């Protein structure tokens, strides 16, 4: 098992609400990437944080936002939830901005009703 | 942006047989290709990876090959066991802003029949 942890494990929200998901990176890792995994599909890149700055973003609208803290932990915030936001949200930590090997956390299962 | 296609979507093999999963990518700048295994309800786990300066890498029963010219890479599992049953994802690492993002294939459900 990797040292990447996420909370909560499961979450149920209603359409229009806001949600915050949390991720603690593996010891020694300063980069956190967030992915959305819909049922039966591969993870899709949302964005990446390095040294508390967003340094890359996938094809997700601005209502998906994030933060990284000085201890390299990270949050993913989603505003104005839509039904299609129901998915497994995974964070992955890695060492360095260009270092490629990423280790995933267990994910947060978000259900939007 | 990068596009990764993965085949087949499902694969059933008899225990002891070999399994091969193939992926193609579109961005010639991609330089890192990991493979992840995801069991039901679990996190994706890195099982093997290959960088673009290498054509083949092997780790016990698992091997990956990369053809940069053709932009395709493959996962080979030999002497399959029931515990190899899972969904396997290939990915390619490409640039997104200042970041290196992973673009994943759609996954292959591997079932090893005892």
pLDDT tens for chain B, 114 residues long, are 889 999 999 999 999 999 999 999 999 989 899 999 999 989 999 999 998 888 999 999 999 999 999 999 999 999 999 999 999 999 998 776 777 789 999 999 999 999
Q: Do A41 and B49 touch (CB under 8 A)?
A: no
User: Measuring CA to CA, which residue among B3, B12, B7 is closest to residue B86?
Assistant: B12
| pLDDT for residue A66 | 97
Nearest chain B residue to A57 by CA distance is B96
Q: Distance, in angstroms, between B100 CA and closest chain A CA?
A: 6
| pLDDT for residue B39 | 95
| pLDDT for residue A100 | 67
Q: Do A102 and B105 touch (CB under 8 A)?
A: no
How far CA B55 is from CA of A27, A101, B68, in Å, comes to 31, 18, 8
| pLDDT for residue A34 | 97
Q: How confident is the model at residue A5 (pLDDT cuts 50, 70, 90)?
A: very high
């Amino acid at each position: 098992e990797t040292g990447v942890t996420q909370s909560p494990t499961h979450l149920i929200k209603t359409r229009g609400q806001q949600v915050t998901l949390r991720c603690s990176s593996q010891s020694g890792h300063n980069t956190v990437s967030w992915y959305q995994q819909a049922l039966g599909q591969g993870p899709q890149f949302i964005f990446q944080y390095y040294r508390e700055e967003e340094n890359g973003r996938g094809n997700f609208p601005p209502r998906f936002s994030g933060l990284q803290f000085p201890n390299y932990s990270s949050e993913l915030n989603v505003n104005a939830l839509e039904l299609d936001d129901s998915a497994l949200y995974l964070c992955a930590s890695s060492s360095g901005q260009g270092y490629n090997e990423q280790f995933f956390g267990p994910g947060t299962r978000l259900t939007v009703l | 942006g990068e596009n990764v296609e993965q085949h087949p979507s499902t694969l059933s093999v008899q225990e002891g047989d070999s399994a091969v999963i193939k992926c193609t990518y579109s961005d010639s700048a991609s330089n890192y290709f990991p493979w992840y295994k995801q069991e039901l309800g679990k996190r994706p786990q890195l099982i093997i990876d290959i960088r673009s300066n290498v054509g083949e890498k092997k780790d016990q029963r698992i091997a990956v090959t990369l053809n940069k010219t053709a932009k395709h890479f493959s996962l080979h599992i030999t002497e399959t066991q029931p515990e190899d049953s899972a969904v396997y994802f290939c990915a390619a690492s490409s640039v997104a802003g200042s970041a290196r993002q992973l673009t994943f294939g759609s996954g292959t459900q591997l079932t090893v029949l005892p």
